[in-house]
Amino acid sequence: MYKLLRNENMKLYSKFGTWLMMTLLLLTVALIGVVSQYDAPPPDVSQWRSHVERDIEQMKAGILNEPNPQVVKQMENHIKIKEYALAHGIVPLEYTPWSFTKEGSSLIPLVSLFVIFAAGGIVANEFAWGTIKSLLVKPHSRAKILLAKYVSVLQFALLLLVMLFAATFACKGLFHDFAYWDTPYLFTDAQGNVQEGNMALHLFSAYLLNSVELLFVATISFMISSVFRSASLAIGITMLLLLLGGMTTSLLAVKYDWIKYTLFANTSLSMYMEGSPLIEGMTLPFSLIVLSIYFLAFILTTWTVFTKRDVVR
């Protein structure tokens, strides 16, 4: 299995397009970083205490007019965190290199787009180039060959996420000499006590949480590539789903409760962290079950077609 995976990675990273996508990702981060630095410069770090004190006063005033007890609880936790930061001299996230890293999660759809291209061609191109015949005569089962290709796609997706994470941190840090890079992540536990955590670990966990859609569009593109043996079809359909899936789901969710059973209604797991599910009554376990069903359906379809059908024309 190791040799198969190594072979797939060698083929993937020997392509000019793969390196072009990685370069474009880094250039995009750099461009956004430079523009944001001069268009909307960060606040003066020397004034962070006065800014935090002002935020606390505004939230305390907002609590008095907030009828929702859940929102009140969230605001009270935010106040505790800010008061803890003041008491312990902890500079807020927005004054550190991690601020751009947090904002960089908005570029995950760009990563998804690049992964769609990789997943859409990794199987279909074997047929287009005629290399599938030599691949299948090797002493490896079709299931292992398919698994190696799928894992290499996931590895490429993870590499792009790591690159995005590191590039956003480095881009912001270069402007501010990486000041306050060791600031902790502050959160409240179940008892309402403020705790300190690792900022890098928290943000990368958030990246992974926001990458559920990335996993599924990669899987869909891989499935279409395997079933229809067409890279253009796989890329085109999956790009359309990526661009319109979430938007269409949000529009239909206003009127139809059955939307909660669709794929893109459940890929944004961060909605549970924010306490705002797409449809009232949706829960994290429900979304995980729905996503598991879709994932198994996509994988079984891919495996069945590739391993059972005569793949050599």
d(CA 226, CA 302): 6
Nearest to 178 by CA among 104, 100, 86: 100
Side chain identity at 299, as an amino acid letter?
I
Tens-place pLDDT, residues 73-102: 888 888 888 888 888 888 888 888 888 888
Task: For the chain, give the percent of residues with pLDDT over 70.
Answer: 92
Identify the three-state secondary structure at position 183.
coil
Where do the H-state alpha helices sit in 210-283? 212-228, 231-253, 270-273
Please report which confidence band the pLDDT of residue 136 belongs to, taking 50, 70 and 90 as the band edges.
Answer: low
CB 10 within 8 A of CB 148: no
Least confident of 82-86, 220-224, 251-255: 251-255
* Long-range CB contact pairs, 49-53, < 8 A, 24+: 49/86, 51/92, 52/82, 52/85, 52/86, 52/92, 53/86
Surface-to-core class of residue 112, CB atoms within 10 Å of its CB (0-12 exposed, 13-18 middle, 19+ buried): buried
Flag the least confident range among 181-185, 216-220, 247-251, 306-310: 306-310
Mean pLDDT of the chain: 84
d(CA 250, CA 279): 9
Q: Which of 121, 216, 122, 104 is nearest to 161 (CA)?
A: 104
Other CB atoms within a 10 A radius of the CB of residue 249 amount to 20
Closest CA to 106 of 201, 32, 199: 32
Q: What is the pLDDT of residues 105-120, one digit of tens each?
A: 889 999 999 999 999 8
* Cα dihedral sign, 254-260-263-267: positive
Q: What percent of the chain has pLDDT over 90?
A: 25
Distance CA 113, CA 213 (A): 11
Greater model confidence, 285 or 137: 285
* Residue range 270-309, pLDDT digits in tens: 777 766 777 777 888 899 999 999 999 999 999 888 887 6
CA distance 65 to 53: 19
CA nearest 143: which of 13, 4, 6, 7?
A: 4
Split at pLDDT 50, 70, 90, the class of 153 is: very high
Q: How many CB atoms lie within 10 A of CB 62?
A: 12
pLDDT given at position 132: 67
Q: What pLDDT is recorded for position 28?
A: 94
- Distance from C-alpha of 111 to C-alpha of 16, rounded to nearest angstrom: 17
**Arithmetic mean of pLDDT, 199-213:** 88
Instruction: Enter the tokens of residue 82.
Output: 């800010």
CB atoms within 10 A of CB 217: 25
